[in-house]
Chains A and B, each alone.
Chain A
């Protein structure tokens, strides 16, 4: 095989490998950005709805305690959280 063929093959292979790698990274970034505003908006609207419907002030942070009381987790309505559920897979 001559050098011309070899270098042309190399250009094609490099281009395809580079574009595939970038597509994977850009795709992951796009999916993260797609999920992030939705989750934030959902969390914010959750806080607003509870305030309006119940006529009480929604707490800025909610503390959830596990059933045995051994651990707690804190949830702020405006925070971003990953959207992961079995049904969404």
Chain B
């Protein structure tokens, strides 16, 4: 049964959201996180820098995969619905917010002393300037792509789409930043996740390209 206005995707996104809220509350209550006290002398800021970095990376990956999914041939008959598009944009905004926290926490870290300028201008920091610089450029690209969400009609769809393609470059830079400048970049699980994420993105981009080629051929054939 095909429902109008992308109701299936909306329903999936809504059920997913309710399940996430429920599981979050259950986990919070049962995990003991609220009672957790770090060992004396633990540099909590440093661990938060690492976890925000990982979460921001996963959010960017999720945003790209979901964005590609809702516009690919897997969802051919569904134009992006209100909820599924909200999910895509919200995940992108959250990736930016958590990236800001990731960078901002470095101002309070006592090991590497970053200045605000070094966090905002690429290639000027004291640690791994190239790969950290890649992360900073990726962040500004993400901001550029995300702030144009609400004004895409004003910009013109084609112009907005070209700008939106910058998110692929941002993802590549973030992956490089995470693997080569991140403490957890050497973690096998994190590397497998990165490779898996890139594989899924390539697969979805390939599916979308094939769909566009087929559509172009159909148009040519119809034209004569």
Q: Which stretch in A5-13, A41-49, A60-68 binds the other chain?
A: A5-13
Knowing A26-B33, A27-B54 touch, does A14 contact B46 (C-beta < 8 A)? no
In the complex, per-residue mask of B6-36: 1 if CB is within 8 Å of any chain A CB, else 0:
0000100110111011001001100101001
How many chain B residues sit at the interface, stated as a range, is: 35 or more
Structural contact, A16 and B90, CB atoms closer than 8 A = yes
Chain A residues positioned under 8 Å from B38 (CB to CB) = 32
Of A1, A15, A31, the contact of B17 (CB 8 Å cutoff):
A15
- A74: interface (CB < 8 Å): no
Structural contact, B14 and A20, CB atoms closer than 8 A = no
Structural contact, A28 and B48, CB atoms closer than 8 A = yes
Structural contact, A16 and B17, CB atoms closer than 8 A = yes
Chain B residues positioned under 8 Å from A8 (CB to CB) = 10, 14, 82-83, 86
Main SS class of interface, A:
helix
- B74: interface (CB < 8 Å): no
- A52: interface (CB < 8 Å): no
Nearest opposing residue in chain A for B25, CB measure = A18
How many chain A residues sit at the interface, stated as a range, is: 20 to 34
In the complex, per-residue mask of B31-62: 1 if CB is within 8 Å of any chain A CB, else 0:
10100101101111011101110110011000
- B87: interface (CB < 8 Å): yes
- B108: interface (CB < 8 Å): no
Nearest opposing residue in chain A for B40, CB measure = A80
- Inter-chain CB contacts under 8 Å: number: 111
Chain B residues positioned under 8 Å from A14 (CB to CB) = 17, 21
- A58: interface (CB < 8 Å): no
Structural contact, A11 and B18, CB atoms closer than 8 A = yes
Partner-A contacts on B (CB < 8 A): 10, 13-14, 16-18, 20-21, 24, 27-28, 31, 33, 36, 38-39, 41-44, 46-48, 50-52, 54-55, 58-59, 82-83, 86-87, 90-91, 94, 98, 101, 111-112, 127-128, 181-184
28 contacts between A and B (CB under 8 A): A1-B82, A8-B86, A9-B83, A11-B14, A11-B17, A12-B86, A12-B87, A12-B90, A13-B90, A15-B17, A16-B91, A18-B21, A19-B21, A19-B24, A20-B98, A22-B27, A24-B101, A25-B33, A26-B27, A26-B31, A28-B44, A29-B36, A29-B47, A30-B51, A31-B47, A31-B184, A84-B43, A84-B46
Partner-B contacts on A (CB < 8 A): 1, 5, 8-9, 11-20, 22-32, 36, 80-82, 84, 86, 88-89
